[in-house]
């Protein structure tokens, strides 16, 4: 048995599995498939042709802890999920995210509030995208990566599995940290290898290639290959690999 609020709008040829909840004011387009045990929270907007797999929670209202650095100081608008997207099983997408068309958010991923994600993006299995993050079109983030708050990933960025971005040099100590929290800026076409760590506020320049396992402690130069800990320039990216 499902609960579908009387004010929710479901388009033509949209199907809903068993034991799902669709709250008040949700707007679901045509040809949408909603799986079993899905919760679509109030006001969420779901585009045509989108699939939401079993156990997903979309449009969730955030509730930070009293000690969290990020506090809610304004009303958060409803989730907007573009057409022909796929939301994986047991994925959580918070209210206030805006997601373009034909984007995949894979099983067990989490996308926080105040996030902008473009079109034709892949958010891999078990990826976490924290709040105040912007992700450009055709970017790929592979499984188990962590995109910290206040980060920017531009178009056609590639993030390999288990990459970690950071944003707080004080690691939770002292009041001075609050106005200095900055995530990474990863510019167009950059590639970051598996298990790399990017320190707070670092800019990865266009077409940079970060080798697997690198620790990036300073801004990079365009079209260079960097590796090591700390990462250093090794050579230029071959011409045939550039976008």
Predicted confidence band of residue 235 (pLDDT cuts 50, 70, 90): very high
| All structural domains of the chain | 1-60+79-129 (2.160.10.10), 131-238 (2.160.10.10)
pLDDT at 184: 98
User: Does residue 175 carry a pLDDT above 80?
Assistant: no
Distance CA 24, CA 225 (A): 51
User: Does residue 64 carry a pLDDT above 80?
Assistant: no
Look-up: residue for tokens 């796929």?
86
Distance CA 68, CA 183 (A): 17
pLDDT at 25: 98
User: Does residue 179 carry a pLDDT above 90?
Assistant: no
What's the angle, vertex CA 161, arms to CA 83 and CA 187, rounded to 5? Answer: 70
pLDDT at 52: 98
Task: Mention every residue, 6+ apart, whose C-beta is less than 8 A from residue 221.
Answer: 205, 208, 233
| Main-chain dihedrals φ then ψ at residue 176, nearest 5 degrees | -60, -20
Between 69 and 161, the higher pLDDT residue:
161
pLDDT at 36: 98
Mean predicted lDDT score pLDDT of the chain: 95
The 3-state DSSP class for residue 61 equals: coil
User: Does residue 65 carry a pLDDT above 90?
Assistant: no
pTM as predicted: 0.95
């Amino acid at each position: 048995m499902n609960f579908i609020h009387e004010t929710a709008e479901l388009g033509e040829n949209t199907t809903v599995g068993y034991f799902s909840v669709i709250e008040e004011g949700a707007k679901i387009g045509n040809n949408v498939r909603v799986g079993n045990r899905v919760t679509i929270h109030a006001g969420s907007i779901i585009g045509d042709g989108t699939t939401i797999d079993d156990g997903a929670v979309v449009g969730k209202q955030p509730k930070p802890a009293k000690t969290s650095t990020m506090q809610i100081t304004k009303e958060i608008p409803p989730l907007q999920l573009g057409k022909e997207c796929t939301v994986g099983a047991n994925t959580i997408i918070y209210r206030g995210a805006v997601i373009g068309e034909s984007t995949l958010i894979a099983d067990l991923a989490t996308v926080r509030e105040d996030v902008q994600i473009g079109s034709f993006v892949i958010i891999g299995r078990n990826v976490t995208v924290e709040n105040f993050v912007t992700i450009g079109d055709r970017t790929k983030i592979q499984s188990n990566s962590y995109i910290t708050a206040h980060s920017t990933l531009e178009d056609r960025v590639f993030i390999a599995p288990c990459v970690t971005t950071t944003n707080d040099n004080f690691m939770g100590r002292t009041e001075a940290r609050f106005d200095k929290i900055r995530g990474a800026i990863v510019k167009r076409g950059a590639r970051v290898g598996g298990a790399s760590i990017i320190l707070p506020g670092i800019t990865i320049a266009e077409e940079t290639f970060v080798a697997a396992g690198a620790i990036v402690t300073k801004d990079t130069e365009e079209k260079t290959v960097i590796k090591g800990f700390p990462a250093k320039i090794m050579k230029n990216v071959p011409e045939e690999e550039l976008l």
